[in-house]
Amino acid sequence: MSIHCIRMQSCSGALPLLQLLSMLPNGVMDTEVSLWGGYEHQALATLLRVSLAFRTAEHRIHVLAPIRGFVMSHAPPSDDDLSLLYAHYFALAATVRGVGGMSSRPEDINAVIHEISNIESLIEHALTGGAVCLQPAVQATADLCRLHLDTGIGSPSRLLARALEVTRMHGMDDLTVELLLLRGWISHNTGRAADASSAAAEAQALATALELPAKIFDAGLLSLYFAGPDDGATLLAHLRTIADRLQNPVRVFKWYGQAAELCKKRGRIDEAIAIYSEAVHSYKAQSLREDRLYALMLTHMGELRIMRGEHTLAHACLEDAVAACDTVQYAMGGAYARLLLGHLYLQQGLLEKSIHHLSAATGPMQTWGSRDILLIHALLCEAYLARDDPDTARTHIHLVQRYQQEMGWGRIYTLICHATIITTYLDVCMQPKPIETLLSVVSLPLLYADACYAISSLRSYPLGSRPGRAKLSLLHTSRLLRYRYFGTRVYGWCLALRTACIGFIGLRV
């Protein structure tokens, strides 16, 4: 049906309503349409009758993508018509905005989660169309970035880049600082250290020039990840002074976390655990509502206890962290805690529990785009092989190989998977299995190529700069050398593999 058909022309409100609906790729509840400036029921009925819109089983009104594209190209709504949608959806995005540095609340996340694509559509239209509501659109972009950091939901990188262009062009310096910090944290969480470091440095310089102590503190926290031990200690002391001056308990709580990270970077594991313990006690004493950060600290404390060999205490910390993350719907924090917990169970031989937690972590890690998804598949590969299920293990190898084009370290993780397969086949029954069975799962020439790649990579970078958490129990790969049937050529390949695996020692799990 044409938008200029007789039925459309006979209802004055049909075309304006279609223009607004075309801005919302995820549609809108039919009960909300009546709130949009008093549109009559007849306007919606007309759109449904001529099939320019349709109602889903969930009672949402949608417009098909081709129709939306046509309307936006030939009869787009004016800014005056869109003002109501801007106000409603940008206010909805603002509900996930934490107060005083706190994270967003679960109930607010639930309210906005189904409207993200609609909010993104309106933000993009406002930013590219030179709308009068540029500042609210930029702020809504920041809100979606916070939601992404809290939950891994959404993909705001493109909008974030456009919003930064707008703030710089129009001199919105305070919002520029905020967006730079968000870009820095997103880059840091997805392993783009160079982008995160440059964003943190630019944000700190601009915040200092604007004399914004809260933003100086936030930029300093991010910069600590890229500072050396000595510079980090100086910066940490400066940040504590700022936090005390701001009298913000949430920022003091965040400071504890970075202080512990600095101790860990210096190898002072006991001191780092003590700082995390003090932070947890402080959290409980002050009744802070920063449950995500609390869960993350429990996770890091559990990680340190794994490094210390205190598996019982680590298990308690990680179980508490998983429970806290599930309570506040902190998907990414829960995924990281489950990764560590699954690895711990795997080391203890509790295969079913390990597979349960590792499998539960795959969804959030994949949504986030974290490189830890590769480590999870490597661990799942080991777990399924230990359970004598090579077919499922092979599936996880293929998943790692699929990510090679997307993540630079995929090939090294493929190496880890292959090494895990060989060592598990040789060790799980304390005797070698038939070489034909082994070769049906992993290609030795491919293993050799991956080993060479890993060695060249390890020679190019200092060990401390590794972004991945690839410390696996692979030193026992040297047991391969005891089996004569591999022959002299494979002996050299295994030496290369062992050298590559040793390069991962000292990395975070």
**CATH code of residue 316:** 1.25.40.10
In this structure, the number of other CB atoms found within 10 A of the CB of residue 65 comes to: 10
- Do 389 and 326 fall into the same domain? no
- Domain boundary pick from 336, 364, 392: 364
Q: Angle of helix 134-151 relative to helix 79-94, nearest 10 degrees?
A: 30
State whether 509 and 410 are in the same domain.
yes
328 and 417 both lie in a single domain: no
Q: How many domains does the chain have?
A: 3
Can you give the pLDDT at residue 54? 87
Clarify whether residues 349 and 392 are in a common domain.
no
The verdict on 406 and 335 lying in the same domain is no
CATH of the domain at 36: 1.10.10
Say whether both 339 and 449 belong to one domain. no
* CB-count burial class (<10 Å; 0-12, 13-18, 19+) for 73: exposed
Could you tell me if residue 25 is inside a domain? yes
> Would 479 be classed as within a structural domain?
yes
Residue 263: inside a domain: no
Last residue of a domain, one of 57, 77, 97: 77
Indicate if 326 and 394 belong to the same structural domain.
no
Q: Among the three residues 23, 51, 77, which one is the final residue of a domain in this structure?
A: 77
257-274 burial by CB neighbour count: b if 16+ within 10 A, else e? bbbbbbbbbeeeeeebbe
- Please name the residue that has the structure tokens 């799980």: 428
Q: Which two tokens stand for residue 237?
A: 């002391």
Low pLDDT (below 50) residues in the chain: 99-102, 410, 425-442, 444-445, 447-496, 498-509
Q: What is the pLDDT of residue 56?
A: 87
Query: 507 and 383, same structural domain?
Result: yes
Instruction: Let me know whether 304 and 421 are in one domain.
Output: no
* 420/498 same-domain check: yes
Q: How far from chain centre, in Å, is Cα 267?
A: 27
Q: Which among 494, 501, 503, 495 is positioned nearest to 475, based on CA atoms?
A: 501
Pair (417, 317) in one structural domain: no
Does residue 257 lie in a domain region? Answer: no
Q: Does 356 reside within a domain?
A: yes
In a domain, 234, yes or no: no
Secondary structure (3-state) at 464: helix
The verdict on residue 444 lying in a domain is yes
For residue 255, being part of any structural domain is answered with no
Amino acid in position 22:
S
Residue 417 belongs to what domain range?
371-509
DSSP letter string over 381-422?
HHHHHHTT-HHHHHHHHHHHHHGGGT-TTHHHHHHHHHHHHH
- Are residue 352 and residue 382 in the same domain, yes or no? no
